[in-house]
Amino acid sequence: MDTEPTGGASTTVDAEDLPFDVFARACPSRGTLEHVTGKWGGLILGALHDGTFRFNELRRRVDGVSEKMLSQTLHALERDGLVHREAQPTNPPRVDYRLTPLGSAVAERLLALIHLVEDRMPEVLTAQERYDTTRAGSGGTAAAPDAGRAVVAGRGGR
Amino acid sequence: MDTEPTGGASTTVDAEDLPFDVFARACPSRGTLEHVTGKWGGLILGALHDGTFRFNELRRRVDGVSEKMLSQTLHALERDGLVHREAQPTNPPRVDYRLTPLGSAVAERLLALIHLVEDRMPEVLTAQERYDTTRAGSGGTAAAPDAGRAVVAGRGGR
DNA sequence: CTGCATCCGAAAAGATACTG
DNA sequence: CAGTATCTTTTCGGATGCAG
């Protein structure tokens, strides 16, 4: 399913039969997918979907990200052509980040996923409780790995 | 550090304004999102979207995943109520994994994202080249972050 | 066959100090 | 403000061994 389809004159590459397959270990698409779906990538793209932001604004919007991770992720995203970086040589320095059209398309799908997850969290929470309960009641020494993951749902966002 | 002090007289919680926000550090939705978009979570959900599979079948489908990671990810997904695990007390033991309706919905969005990325990879590749070229010509020892993601060559395909 | 436990090296994330 | 450099901590991920 991933080998070059022989026979084709390969005049044009049909969008329906691209050679990129994330399920293949060495496909570059897997790397990009990881940048996009990585721990911070998704949140940054999501935040950027609301408009243009400066470095520290972004830092505040994405709760918990460190300077290092933000900078690093932003660079990876910029390199992939998903984010546009515009630095103005003013004083003090001002740098704006915004999504490229491609980044916007990606963010769109990403947000659809994010919203679905947020939307269905009640079900997830229920499932988690049942899972933990079942495990605890059926076995013996339930060491409870990390069952109680801080479940503080305080909509701190602003 | 995350005490949610906001006025006791909390405003009403509208369905439109769910308390789950992935942008908040302590929100449980962030954890679930990470399981889903994690390095293996997405691929496993994607693979499972095609049907029901046994442990080793899955291992073969998701190229590169180790036994440990597969087991670990499968558990996280099961706990979140995205994957259903059915063990049959036969001999030899047989365990089937399949998506739950919720998992199926998530996989749907995930695949939309994956396909978009695969689809637009040519653009990404072009952007990467331009980025590397620009950097190399303009400045010092750029030493791109992880430009050349070690593509471990191994047995190809599945 | 399924799958958990443990050890260990590698990589990522995080905190902090420092520069332009 | 916007980042980079450096160090420490945590997690990831693979190999191995064992149990049901």
Query: What confidence tens digit (pLDDT) does each residue in B67-85 have?
Result: 999 999 999 999 999 999 9
Residue with the larger pLDDT of the pair B154 and B127: B127
- How many CA atoms lie less than 13 Å away from B150 in the CB half-sphere? 2
Residue A45, pLDDT > 70, answer yes
Residue pairs spanning A and B at CB distance below 8 A: 200
Q: What is the pLDDT of residue A15?
A: 54
- Among all protein residues, pick the one whose CA is nearest to the C1' atom of C5: B68
Of A129-133, A145-149, B91-95, the range with the lowest mean pLDDT is A145-149
Q: What is the pLDDT of residue A137?
A: 58
Chain-chain contact of B19 with A155 (C-beta, under 8 angstroms) = yes
Chain-chain contact of A81 with B146 (C-beta, under 8 angstroms) = no
Q: What is the pLDDT of residue A9?
A: 42
Amino acid symbol at A105: A
- How many Å apart are A11 CA and D13 C1'? 42
Give the separation between CA B133 and CA B135, rounded to whole angstroms. Answer: 5
Of A77-81, B44-48, B149-153, the range with the lowest mean pLDDT is B149-153
Give the separation between CA B34 and CA B29, rounded to whole angstroms. Answer: 8
Show the CA angle centred on residue B57, arms to residues B51 and B63, nearest 5°. Answer: 100
Residue count (chain A)? 158
Which nucleotide minimizes the distance between its C1' and the CA of B65?
D13
In chain A, pLDDT over 70 holds for what percent of residues?
A: 74
Residue A107, pLDDT > 80, answer yes
Fold type of domain B27-117: Arc Repressor Mutant, subunit A (1.10.10)
Chain-chain contact of A117 with B126 (C-beta, under 8 angstroms) = no
Residues of chain B with CATH 1.10.10.10: 27-117
Contact B74, B47 (CB under 8 A): no
Q: Which residues contact A147 (CB under 8 A, 6 or more apart)?
A: A132
Of A18-32, A90-104, B134-148, the range with the lowest mean pLDDT is B134-148
Mean pLDDT score of chain A = 80
- How many Å apart are A29 CA and D13 C1'? 21
Q: What is the pLDDT of residue B75?
A: 93
Residue with the larger pLDDT of the pair A78 and B10: A78
Where do we find the tokens 């992880």?
A: B146
The pLDDT confidence band at residue B63, using thresholds 50, 70 and 90, is confident
pTM: 0.79
The pLDDT confidence band at residue B158, using thresholds 50, 70 and 90, is very low
Residue A98, pLDDT > 50, answer yes
Taking the CA of residue B92 and the nearest CA in chain A, the distance in Å comes to 22
Residues in chain A within 8 Å Cβ distance of B134: none
φ, ψ for residue A24, nearest 5 deg: -90, 130
